[in-house]
Amino acid sequence: MNLLWQLLNTPAGVTVLATIALWLLNRIYQAKPAWRQFEGTIIAAIKHAEKVIPDDSDNASVERLNNALQYVITVYGEMKGRPPSPKISAQLREAIQVKHAELEASGALTTGEAHDET
């Protein structure tokens, strides 16, 4: 154990430890949610779905979620050159729901008949 500690306290040992730490930090940074780079697209998709699907339609919230998800998946495919995996699709669906709640709470979404008034 003492020999290991002595090796780690050498310049080479410190360099190895710093390299490992940098590698780990890069892995953590790259592990951020895949949907973060599509946040603007998600917001646009939510607002579009709010406008095109009337409040009085059957299952309006499910239809809006599906509409927004299909839009985001299309944009994802165009940008990445491949469709998202089922795991990423699930993350995108969850992100749409979270962003919708945030937009609604902040008053950035209008509801009711205001969709048709411009």
* pLDDT tens string 97-112: 999 998 888 888 865 4
Do residues 73 and 89 touch, judged by C-beta distance below 8 A? yes
Mean model confidence pLDDT for the chain: 84
Q: What predicted TM-score, i.e. pTM, was given to this entire model?
A: 0.66
With CA atoms as reference, report the closest residue to 94 among 116, 118, 117, 72.
72
Listed by start position, the domains of the chain span: 1-31, 34-115
Q: What is the mean pLDDT of residues 51-72?
A: 92
More confident position, 35 or 19: 19
